[in-house]
A and B are shown apart, each in its own frame.
Chain A
């Protein structure tokens, strides 16, 4: 009987995880069988309130999806809270592509359950099941691409602002020179 109830609860639990992960753009295109394979390489971690998930500057090895709880992304040393992440949100996905230092600290503010997907496991999956690996890599590349476009746009905006600022400043500079010549 135990295994019967165990199976039912497990199925319910799996259903919850499946629903949760389907919300993440990375897993949108996956069918239940593929989702099951991905879930097998993911790590479910329980955190107490106020526990650090990772620290700014540490090597990043993967991403997290928030199943339950609240996670703050904090920029150090100022302590500025950059984002507050809730159920279904995800963070750290760029570390799946490249082991770069974490750009901010992630800290739970309530007891939280997170699912972690890490680069070594993703690379292993790519080797074992290239088709599924590609299904994960394409959305990841799209997310990175979108970020790049956004960053480019922001940089362009800043460049324009700078040019505008310099254009406004130019007469002033002449004034200063004029003053000096006087």
Chain B
């Protein structure tokens, strides 16, 4: 009954389908980013809804309760922190305290010019080029952030996607599995389940670790009297999802901001030590508790992912790049492992 299709045809077909899917995804990348974001949020809140269901609530009611409580918490946080975050963001956009910055840069310029005369450099004019750099780059970042109208659209669409994936995720999954041919049915079921188990722990763990890092950073930077501590702390928390590069990025921004705003290098060492301590707490205390060990991503893979995601999906893409790659990696890993076990390869 079963016809044998040569392996090369299977590979060619799979490659063609893969390229096609990527092309479609790239051309509707705006929507894809929103769906991925909504799906990740739904994934994070799923255990909460399950727990409420176990207490006797229906799926819809449990979803509504989780959704309402989350909205309330987010709204409260926004009311509490938004003025601080907005004013800090605005302060960055309008420019740093030029006086302090000028002092530091002039000191640095003096030292550099003294050393570099050997190779013929006499006038660096670092201040102008730095101001130019900061202005264009900060503008770039803010240009990435969507305008008010699309921001509101996204604020509506993302929770909408999250709500329905939480409520009907199981039905959608079942509908998808029903489409799978009989020969691949048990295999698909097994791959989806194994992927689900690994990713659940990984994604929820990552979020928890990021939250801990963000809170610790905000607290520590506030104690060290670093300006824009809320923003830098949130940034450190978010970048913590990116292994290797993330913690360095968080610390670098804090050091840079501190040097430019205070005009001296005295806080550099305390900030670096603080970030090392926070990383130690994260690595020794938080991560072993929450992370699935087998979702290790190679640094090179992370770098490539960030470049591609940044190019195609902007700032939001950068944020989602690592979790999305983890999803893909676990899925591919499980697919290949099961292909052998089900004698499909």
A residues engaging B (CB < 8 A)?
41, 43-45, 47-48, 50-55, 57-59, 61-62, 116, 118-120, 124, 127-130
Contacts and interface: CB of A to CB of B under 8 A. Distances in A.
B1 interface: yes
Do most interface residues of chain A lie in helix, strand or loop, or is the interface mixed?
Answer: mixed
Q: Name the interface size band of chain B.
A: 20 to 34
Contact of A58 (B50, B182, B186): B186
B182 A128 contact: no
B12 to A, nearest CB: 26
Given A43-B174, A130-B54, A59 B1 contact: no
A127 B50 contact: yes
Contacts of B1: 48, 50-51
Given A43-B177, A50-B1, A58-B343, A128 B53 contact: yes
A43 B186 CA distance: 11
Contacts of B50: 124, 127-128
B189 interface: yes
Closest 4 CB pairs of A and B: A120-B193, A128-B53, A50-B1, A128-B50
B298 interface: no
B189 A128 contact: no
B90 interface: no
Contact of B341 (A58, A116, A124): A58
Given A59-B341, A128-B53, A130-B54, A118 B183 contact: no
A131 to B, nearest CB: 9
Contact of B186 (A44, A51, A61): A61
B341 A52 contact: no
B82 interface: no
Contacts of B341: 58-59
A62 B185 CA distance: 12
